[in-house]
Amino acid sequence: MPAFTVTSIIDGDTFEVTPQWKWSGTAGTRVRPTGYDAPELHAFGGQAAKDKLSRLIHGQQVDLRAAYRIDRGRLVCDVFWGNRNLADYFQNYR
């Protein structure tokens, strides 16, 4: 898949991109990176995870690789930013 620009951060492990991704007959803008699971926004640490993700990739280009499935309208895939897997930045959420 081509590079995508991150347009919005939903929470610590969900964000939106432009242009739309297309995979397995489905298209969308929401992405769920593999490799980590951040706390929900209402849980302890949830807002901190969202803030960290925002500081890292909001407005930046990311590469979407190795798509696995669609979950609740989100493409679940490996996400790379600057040739590094995004999950590497969230090791304490594994």
Give the H or E element holding residue 30. strand 26-33
Residue pLDDT, tens place only, 3-62? 999 999 999 999 999 999 999 999 999 999 999 999 999 999 999 999 999 999 999 999
And the tokens for 88? 């590497």
pLDDT above 70: residue 1:
no
The CATH number of the domain holding residue 74 is: 2.40.50.90
| Cβ neighbours of 32 (radius 10 Å) | 21
Amino acid identity for residue 25 in this structure: G
Q: d(Cα 20, Cα 73) in Å, to the nearest integer?
A: 12
pLDDT above 80: residue 2:
no
Structural domains of the chain, count: 1
pTM: 0.95
pLDDT above 90: residue 93:
no
Report which of residues 60 and 83 the model is more confident about: 60
And the tokens for 40? 């929900």
Residue span of the structural domain in which 68 resides: 3-93
Q: d(Cα 13, Cα 10) in Å, to the nearest integer?
A: 8
How far is Cα of residue 26 from the mean position of the Cα atoms in its chain? Answer: 17
